[in-house]
Structure 1
Amino acid sequence: MAVTLEQAQRVGYTLLKGLLRFGFMVANNLVAIPSYILYLIILQPLRLLDSKRFWYIEGVLFKWLLAMVASWGWWAGYTVVEWGDDVKVVSEDEAMMLVNHQATGDVCTLMMCLQDKGTVVRQMMWLMDHIFKYTNFGIVSLLHGDFFIRQGKAHRDQQLVLLKDHLDKHYRSRDRKWIVLFPEGGFLRKRRETSQAFAKKNDLPFLTHVTLPRLGATQVILKSLVAQQENGTPAGGDAMVAESKSKGLQWVIDTTIAYPNAEPIDIQTWILGYRRPTVTHVHYRIFPIKDVPAEPEALTDWLYQRFIEKEDLLSHFYKTGAFPPLQGQAKAISREMTLSNLWLIVIQSLAFLSGVMWYCIFQYFYHCLF
């Protein structure tokens, strides 16, 4: 099949754009990540004198780093439309997000859509596969206090013990409020067949768009972070507010990510931007913690029910292009999430200026010493 001039030009443009974007991403990482590390090193005395203020500053820097990642997708035309409950109204409370997992782009999508949710990003802890520890962003996540979990039966019990220890040591001491968890324990394409076989063997629903979640990490988080007196209470109407400010998880946010035509975005696409502009859809449903059972068997049933609902949500979305309305609504209401280009440019400029500053500092000391 002959390639037309127009097709060749399109391919050439895509390759050139991808190359330029990759170069920008590399430069972005080379200035931003070392700057983040060096700022934290310089601020170590503050950590000893005023730990809360130190972690506040670290959280701001962390949010800016995630904004840079979000900007790679935003400027490629990868945007987000949100559905369901408005999570902004619980952004100052403690919450756990339960998210379906289709591809590496899920993390980037969350980095983008949570940018406008108040203090959430800077006070958030991520639970992610240990392989992310060895990526360019791994050192940042380690310093921030995220937890890298190993998958597989051989590591399961040990990882849950390590998770509990990690939460006890780092969640409260670093003033974390939100924790993000992917309960499926892996990407949809990798776990679907195993999950369906398990469902068939145990007479559980046959799921196509999600997989059956694993209980372990969810149970550890609830045991470690839920206060003795649960205080999540729904307000009237569709709004959700927290009436009490005592410590402990107050909400569970069931988060469902949907991609057009069930074609998820991966990190390579997010960086290189070779896919056409795409709108990712994110659906939220907020549950007060008092509605989440504590007993393992009841919690398992509750968690399974959430993913059965995700299956229904995604089936509806792939058929209609929209999520169904919430209970009591005649029509589903969507909200387009936006980022300020000016703000993103300012953040990027600060990163490159920081890189230049640190380079000049090291160059000065090098000349002084040698």
Structure 2
Amino acid sequence: MLHFLKQFKIVQLYLTYILVFACISCTIGQIIAFPLKYISPRLFYVLNDKLCYCYFCLIPYAVENWGGYTIRVYGKDGIYQTFEKSRNKNMLVVMNHTGEVDWMIGWSLIERVGLLGVVKTMIKDSVKYVPVFGWSFYFSDYIFVKRSAQTDLPLIKKACDVYKKYPYNFLMTIFPEGTRFTREKHSESLAFACKRDLPQYKHHLLPRAKGLYTLVCMMKNNDNSEFFYDVEFAYRGKEATTLGILSGDAGMCDVNMRLIPLRDIPLEEKAFSEWLYQLFREKDELMEYHLKHGCFPGMHLQADQGYWRSKLALFWSLVSTLPILSLLYCLISSEQWIIVAFLIGLVPIASWMFKQLIHLTESKHGSSYGLNNKKV
């Protein structure tokens, strides 16, 4: 019965409504708490952590609990435990970008160790203008980039100056490839690498060193920073999509995690670039191994889902439904049938708009960033 319901657009639209409702509620909390940033910064970031987690956790819930997605993590014994124990340290997590839901899978991993509320990332500049969602990311000190080295590097350096003085721990995630992997972008990446005598990868785009180098320098100069995590995603079967997850199309993603002490990463820029290229050679080998064996090397690691994930999903479902039921009751009681009919008529329109919005996020409609670039 549940699987049957998942196929209806109205159900998918309702899930999106719950997420938007939760985001609006928590963003209002962020706005109210914002003055504390200048009075008691640590208290503000503690509150911001909790508020963000309250609706961020709906993403892992949608992926694993609703969508039925299975995430299998591989790596050396104890790496997940180290990840969890280092929650009071600043961390940098580097991920490959193979599809549109990579960030969702990454959030599921981060949520399992209780760090989802403090996650930061680089995100398209246009997102900050998206009502509510963009504001929430702005209050959380996300880095908004325009995908141009000339304009983005000063923004990254400015953000790093903020992070250096952070009174609270954070976890920075980044996709060094800069954009999703597609055949077209891969061909462009190979041509660019060949022209510049740079490494050519079978399963990844050429990584961009400058932004990540700036972040690594900031982390290495921060006494509360210790670890660099490399994460590799590999999907089984068809590519995962946002619409597929909302429809409950179960799938599987294998994840390889590696821990690299920050002290082992070179601080000189040219040496760092060579180190990064070597890291992606190793990531390419990992992906090749997965294609041949259907899994990553190393142990299959276990980690429990976050304790509050399902409870908060239930909470937001109930709280967000009450205004709708209350409105309908008032309209029906007062026999406002025209308004009721109008609201019902909005449902298919909203469903169509929702489908178009999801359609734009699909990988084949991804950013053109990475094509015909002149600089790395």
TM superposition score normalised by structure 1: 0.77
> What number of residue pairs does the alignment pair up?
315
Relative to 1, partners in 2 of residues 1:260 and 1:201: Cα closer, same or farther, differing over 3 Å? Answer: same
C-alpha contact 1:35 1:358 (8 A) present in aligned 2: no
Residue in structure 2 matched with residue 5 of structure 1 by the alignment: none
Shift of 1:170: 4.9
Tell me, in whole angstroms, the C-alpha distance in 1 between the residues paired with 2:221 and 2:288: 36
Residue in structure 2 matched with residue 339 of structure 1 by the alignment: 305
Q: Deviations over 1:45-100 (max 9, x none)?
A: 54444221121111012122121011111111112111113222433322211110
C-alpha contact 1:199 1:206 (8 A) present in aligned 2: yes
Relative to 1, partners in 2 of residues 1:89 and 1:219: Cα closer, same or farther, differing over 3 Å? Answer: same
Residue in structure 2 matched with residue 71 of structure 1 by the alignment: 61
Relative to 1, partners in 2 of residues 1:312 and 1:14: Cα closer, same or farther, differing over 3 Å? Answer: farther
Residue in structure 1 matched with residue 186 of structure 2 by the alignment: 192
1:215 aligns with 2:205: no
**Structure 1 gap ranges (5+):** 1-9, 229-245, 325-331, 360-370
1:146 aligns with 2:139: no
Q: Secondary structure of 2:213's match?
A: helix
TM superposition score normalised by structure 2: 0.76
Between 343-352 and 297-306, the greater mean CA deviation after superposition: 343-352
1:114 aligns with 2:110: yes
C-alpha contact 1:35 1:354 (8 A) present in aligned 2: no
C-alpha contact 1:133 1:148 (8 A) present in aligned 2: yes
Tell me, in whole angstroms, the C-alpha distance in 2 between the residues paired with 1:257 and 1:44: 36
Shift of 1:347: 0.6
Shift of 1:199: 2.4
Between 73-82 and 44-53, the greater mean CA deviation after superposition: 44-53
Relative to 1, partners in 2 of residues 1:270 and 1:132: Cα closer, same or farther, differing over 3 Å? Answer: farther
Tell me, in whole angstroms, the C-alpha distance in 1 between the residues paired with 2:288 and 2:126: 30
Shift of 1:307: 0.6
Q: Deviations over 1:317-343 (max 9, x none)?
A: 11111112xxxxxxx211244426x73
Q: Secondary structure of 1:282's match?
A: strand
C-alpha contact 1:313 1:323 (8 A) present in aligned 2: yes
- CA RMSD across the alignment: 2.7
Tell me, in whole angstroms, the C-alpha distance in 2 between the residues paired with 1:206 and 1:44: 46
C-alpha contact 2:96 2:176 (8 A) present in aligned 1: yes
C-alpha contact 2:123 2:143 (8 A) present in aligned 1: yes
1:41 aligns with 2:31: yes
Residue in structure 2 matched with residue 130 of structure 1 by the alignment: 125
Residue in structure 2 matched with residue 54 of structure 1 by the alignment: 44
Q: Which amino acid aligns with 1:257?
A: F
Tell me, in whole angstroms, the C-alpha distance in 2 between the residues paired with 1:357 and 1:266: 30
**Structure 2 gap ranges (5+):** 325-376
Match of 1:81 among 67, 72, 84: 72
Q: Which residues in structure 2 correspond to 1:1-370 (within 5 Å)?
A: 17-74=7-64, 75-84=66-75, 85-86=79-80, 87-118=83-114, 120-133=115-128, 137-151=133-147, 155-170=148-163, 172-173=165-166, 175-189=168-182, 191-227=185-221, 246-247=223-224, 249-261=225-237, 263-273=238-248, 275=249, 277-324=250-297, 332-339=298-305, 343-352=308-317
Q: Secondary structure of 2:98's match?
A: coil
Shift of 1:308: 0.7
Shift of 1:216: 1.1
Q: Which amino acid aligns with 1:98?
A: V
Relative to 1, partners in 2 of residues 1:208 and 1:43: Cα closer, same or farther, differing over 3 Å? Answer: same
Relative to 1, partners in 2 of residues 1:110 and 1:217: Cα closer, same or farther, differing over 3 Å? Answer: same
Q: Secondary structure of 1:250's match?
A: strand
Tell me, in whole angstroms, the C-alpha distance in 2 between the residues paired with 1:103 and 1:148: 20
Relative to 1, partners in 2 of residues 1:290 and 1:45: Cα closer, same or farther, differing over 3 Å? Answer: closer
